[in-house]
Every structure is written in structure tokens, then in C-alpha cells.
Amino acid sequence: MQHDGQSDALMAFYREGGADDAGRRWEEIVAWPDERLEAMHDFIQWLFPLPERSGANPWAPTLSAATIAAFHASPEMRQRLRESFLRMLRFYGLEWASDGQVRRAEYFAATADNWLWPENHNYLRLTRILRSLALLGLERESAALFRALSGIRRDFPGRITPRTFTFWSEAAAAIP
């Protein structure tokens, strides 16, 4: 299968220990403490790529049909994507339950203070995560995250705007 340079860079990042545009490897990023994940704005595009170029990191690769197909064909790449998802769940005070649902972790209240307020940049990250998971073969995880976010919206009225929730709904419904 022929790939362009961006696809090759993304697949090397996810498959072979290649570096992102800032020279960081996947293993390093998923090991960052929450404070660093919050402060950095140019990693999420590598962990959860989309077909569109990012304004926050225009050097990050975008998804092509070939890259999407490669993720669907590679259990290893999907597993790393899933591990990226699990890391970000912890960042948001959420966890993957044994029944395939995303639940609030015991420490949810402490982490929610950092991200659960209107117009927070993490809402854009969550939109990206939902859509990337759905596009790259982790539809179940995307749907579970969306259900958890729906419950959070219900339980914390006024913190998630209707506009944000619409973006999340559309992102979770993304199909390749």
C-alpha cells in the first residue's frame, strides 16, 4: 500500500516508535503527568488524528483513507490508540469499566474542576478524541465516552453548552 509522508510519519509514531513533529515518541506522551497534558497543546493531534489539519498544530499529520485503512487492519495500532484513549480518560477523571462503559473514577471531582466548565479547550480535545476513535476502528470506545459525557452533561447542568454537545454528538457518529 502506498502512503504519503504524513501517513508514514503517523504510522511510524503509532507502530514503530517514530517521533512526532516535536521529536516526542508515543510512549513519552502517554507517560506525561496530567499537568503536562493540560499545558501542552500540540500532542493531541498525534494521539487522535483527524482528516482535517489542526489550527493548534498545523504540522501534525492528517488522516488519509490509506491511514484509516491501516488502523483498521492493524490490531497493534488500534491497541496503542486504545491506550491513548485510556490515558486521556484518566486525565478527565474517567475510567474504562469491565462492562465496556466509561465511568467516573473516584477522583473525578478533583479533575473535573480543571476541565468541566464552558468553552474549555478540553471540550475541543474531547470532540477530537470521539471522532478519531470512531474513524480509526474504536467505535465502541467512542460511543462509551459519548454516553459518559452525556451523563456528565445531565448531572452538571450549564457546564456543557448545547453547541459543544452537538459537536460531541456529531463526532461520536463519525463513520469512515
Per residue in 140-162, pLDDT (tens digit) is 999 999 999 999 999 999 999 99
Cβ-contact 129, 174 below 8 angstroms: no
Number of domains within the chain: 1
Q: How far apart are the first and last CA of the chain?
A: 18
Residues 84-101, mean pLDDT to the nearest whole number: 97
Mean pLDDT, the chain, whole residue set: 93
Query: Using CA atoms, how far apart are residues 126 and 139, in angstroms rounded to an integer?
Result: 14
Domain span at residue 75? 5-172
What is the per-residue pLDDT for 3? 44
pTM (2 d.p.): 0.94
